[in-house]
Structure formats: C-alpha cells, structure tokens
Amino acid sequence: MRGGMKASWVYILMGRTGTLYTGVTSDLYRRMLEHREKAHPGFTSRYDCNRLIYYEEYAEITTAIGREKQIKGWTRAKKIALIAELNPGWKDLSEDWGKPMEIPENR
C-alpha cells in the first residue's frame, strides 16, 4: 500500500474436514502463523482451519470489515464459487509462509 496507508485483508480458511472460516486482519502473515499454531482458542482452533484458500486486500480496515460481513452472510455455495474462481486448485496460498528459504549452495 502506498502513502503510508496500512493494508487490511479479508481471508477465507479451510479446515481438514472442509469447514470454511472468513476473517479480517491488518497483518495477514502474522494472522496465518497464529492460525497454524492455534494461538487463540475458538472456532479456527476447534475446526483446524489453517489453510489459506482465498484473500482480498483493502486499503481501509472499515472496507475490509464490510466485505467480511458480506461474505459471512453468503451461502456456502456462493463462498465456494468465489474461492473456485480465483483459486481453482484450492491450494493453500500460505503453504510456504514462515518456512526457511532454501538457498542453493552453488551460487
């Protein structure tokens, strides 16, 4: 984000059993690490929601919160269609976050 604005994100996580969770944060990287470590008891810890399958970036937190509420009000089918449109393989978009980078030795 330019101009000193702090970015915000709306994101959707999926658990092992297919449970979906929609959230909002001002630090997506940190929040994903917290979800993976089950740092906060609650829905995502209980249902093991720790795979980032969708996210949107916003310049203002109020806009992100409005979008989060909108998505939370949708049917499961509509959420699935949104995810499938931008992430058809349902890949964990944060899979390598927080892992050490492998640097080739012959550089």
Question: 105 lies in a domain?
Answer: no
Please indicate, yes or no, if residue 46 is contained in any of the structural domains.
Answer: yes
- Whether residue 73 contacts residue 36, with contact meaning beta carbons closer than 8 Å, is answered with no
| pLDDT for the residue numbered 4 | 54
> Which CATH number characterizes residue 49's domain?
3.40.1440.10
Spatial contact of 55 and 63, defined as CB atoms under 8 Å apart: no
Query: What single letter denotes the amino acid at residue 85?
Result: E
Q: Which pLDDT score, from 0 to 100, does residue 1 have?
A: 47
Per-residue pLDDT, 76: 97
What's phi and psi for 50, nearest 5 deg? -145, 15
Does 106 fall in a domain? no
Number of structural domains (the chain) is 1
Report the amino acid identity of residue 95: E
pLDDT at 71: 98
In a domain, 94, yes or no: no
CB 24 within 8 A of CB 16: no
- Domain assignment present for 102: no
What local confidence, expressed as pLDDT, does residue 101 receive?
A: 58
- Give 46-63 pLDDT, tens digit per residue: 888 899 999 999 999 999
What does pLDDT average to in each consecutive run of 10 residues of the chain (107 residues)?
73 94 95 87 86 96 97 98 95 83 63
